[in-house]
C-alpha cells in the first residue's frame, strides 16, 4: 500500500473508456439501454432512426447479417442536434457526427472544410474538447488524378476546416471510400474531457510528414491514440505502408501480413500486450468484394476469436487492397 493512499481521490484523468462491441440486436433496444453513447449501422439495410446517437454508415457489410456497432459509457447520456450535427455526451465522453451532401457545398474539398469547421465550432463550446478518434467516409475516394484526386482534395479541406484546433496534435483517424451512389461525406468522432496520448509507428513516416507526392496537404492524423485512462488503444486505419510507401502491390496476403506487423508495432509502442483478443473489435475495409472470403480466412487464422467487422470500402491509395482499424483493450 502507498503511504497515505487511504485519502486519495480518483482524478479526472481516470476515465474508463467506452465499451465498443458488435451486436446483433434491435436498434431500439440498444438505444433504450442506459449508457448508450452511439450506435452505428452499416449498408443499405441499416435501420432508419432519427435518434442523434445513431448513424447509418454507407459501407456495406460483407457478412450477413451485419451487426450494429455500439458504444457504451458508465453514466447517463444526453443528446441533441446543432444544425446538421448530431451529438451525444455522458461520463466525460462525446460522440458527434455529420452527414453532408457534397452538392450543397461544392465538392469534396469544400465539404470537408465545412464539416471540420462545424465540428471545431461545436467542440469549442463543450468540455469534451479532446478528440481521440475520428472517421471519414467519402464517395469515390480515388477518383481524379494527381492533386485533383478526391482524397487529396478532402485532405486540403480537412486541414482548412480544422484550422489550429488540433495544434496539440492530431487524433487517430480513418478515411475510407464508400460505394453509395450519392456523394455524401460522413464524419464522426469520439472526444473526451481529458487528453489522450498519441502513438506513432517507427516503421512508418508520420502521416503529417508525408512528402509532396501525396498531395499539397499531407494527411492529418496520429497512427493511434491511447485513451485517457490508458485502458484502450484506438487504432487508426492501418495498411501495408512502410516508411511512406505502399508495399506488396497486388498481393493481398502480403498486404495483410504487413498490416498486422504495423498493428503489432503500434501495440508495442503503446505498451500494450502483443496480439488481439475477443474484447478487441476490429474493422477490415476490403477494396474488392471478391477478396472478402480470403481476408476473413486470413484474419481468422492469424487473429482467432477476434471480432472483425468486414466492410466493402476503398482505401485512400489505389494500390492498397485492405485496411484495418479498431480497438485494443488493456
**Burial zone of 65 (CB within 10 Å; 0-12 exposed, 13-18 middle, 19+ buried):** exposed
Long-range contacts made by residues 76-85, C-beta under 8 angstroms, separation at least 24?
A: 76/34, 76/35, 77/34, 77/35, 77/36, 77/37, 77/53, 79/51, 79/52, 79/53, 80/52, 81/52, 82/118, 82/122, 83/118, 84/118, 85/118, 85/119, 85/122
Report the distance separating Cα 155 and Cα 219, nearest Å: 6
258 is catalytic: no
Give the neighbor-by-neighbor strand order of the sheet with 19-23: 19-23, 68-72, 36-42, 54-57
Cα separations in angstroms, 122 against 81, 84, 95, 187, 246: 10, 11, 12, 14, 36
Short-list 316, 304, 324, CA closest to 255: 324
Give the residues across from 263 on adjacent strands.
none
Helices (H) and strands (E) in the chain, counts: 5, 19
Cα separations in angstroms, 169 against 104, 151, 204, 208: 30, 21, 17, 10
- The catalytically annotated residue of 102, 128, 156, 323 is 323
- Collapsing DSSP states into helix, strand and coil, what is residue 27? helix
Q: Which residues does the annotation mark as catalytic? A: 323
Amino acid at each position: 500500500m502507498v503511504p497515505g493512499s487511504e485519502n486519495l481521490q480518483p482524478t479526472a484523468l481516470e476515465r474508463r473508456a467506452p465499451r465498443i462491441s458488435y451486436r446483433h440486436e434491435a436498434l431500439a433496444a440498444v438505444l433504450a439501454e442506459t449508457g448508450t453513447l452511439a450506435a452505428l449501422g452499416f449498408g443499405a439495410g441499416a435501420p432508419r432512426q432519427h435518434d442523434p446517437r445513431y448513424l447509418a454508415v454507407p459501407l456495406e457489410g460483407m457478412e450477413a447479417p451485419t451487426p450494429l456497432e455500439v458504444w457504451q459509457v458508465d453514466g447517463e447520456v444526453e443528446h441533441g442536434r446543432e444544425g446538421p450535427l448530431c451529438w451525444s455526451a455522458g461520463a466525460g465522453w462525446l460522440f458527434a457526427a455529420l452527414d453532408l451532401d457534397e452538392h450543397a457545398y461544392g465538392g469534396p474539398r469544400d465539404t470537408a472544410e465545412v464539416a471540420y469547421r462545424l465540428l471545431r465550432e461545436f467542440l469549442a463550446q463543450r468540455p469534451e474538447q479532446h478528440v481521440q478518434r475520428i472517421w471519414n467516409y467519402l464517395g469515390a475516394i480515388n477518383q481524379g488524378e494527381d492533386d485533383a484526386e478526391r482524397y487529396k482534395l478532402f485532405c486540403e479541406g480537412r486541414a482548412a476546416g480544422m484550422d489550429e484546433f488540433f495544434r496539440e496534435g492530431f487524433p487517430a483517424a480513418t478515411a475510407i471510400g464508400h460505394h453509395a451512389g450519392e456523394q455524401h461525406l460522413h464524419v464522426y468522432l469520439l472526444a473526451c474531457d481529458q487528453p489522450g496520448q498519441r502513438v506513432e509507428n517507427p516503421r512508418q513516416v508520420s502521416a503529417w510528414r508525408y512528402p509532396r507526392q501525396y498531395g499539397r496537404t499531407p494527411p492529418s492524423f496520429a497512427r493511434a491514440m491511447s485513451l485517457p485512462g490508458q485502458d484502450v488503444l484506438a487504432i487508426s486505419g492501418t495498411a501495408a505502408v512502410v516508411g511512406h510507401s505502399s508495399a506488396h502491390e497486388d498481393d493481398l496476403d502480403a498486404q495483410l501480413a504487413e498490416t498486422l506487423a504495423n498493428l503489432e508495432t503500434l501495440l508495442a509502442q503503446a505498451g500494450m500486450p502483443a496480439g488481439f483478443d475477443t474484447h478487441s473489435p476490429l474493422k477490415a475495409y476490403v477494396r474488392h468484394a471478391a477478396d472478402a472470403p480470403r481476408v476473413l480466412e486470413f484474419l481468422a487464422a492469424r487473429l482467432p476469436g477476434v471480432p472483425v467487422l468486414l466492410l466493402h470500402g476503398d482505401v485512400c491509395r489505389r494500390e492498397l487492397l485492405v485496411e484495418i482499424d479498431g480497438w485494443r483493450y488493456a
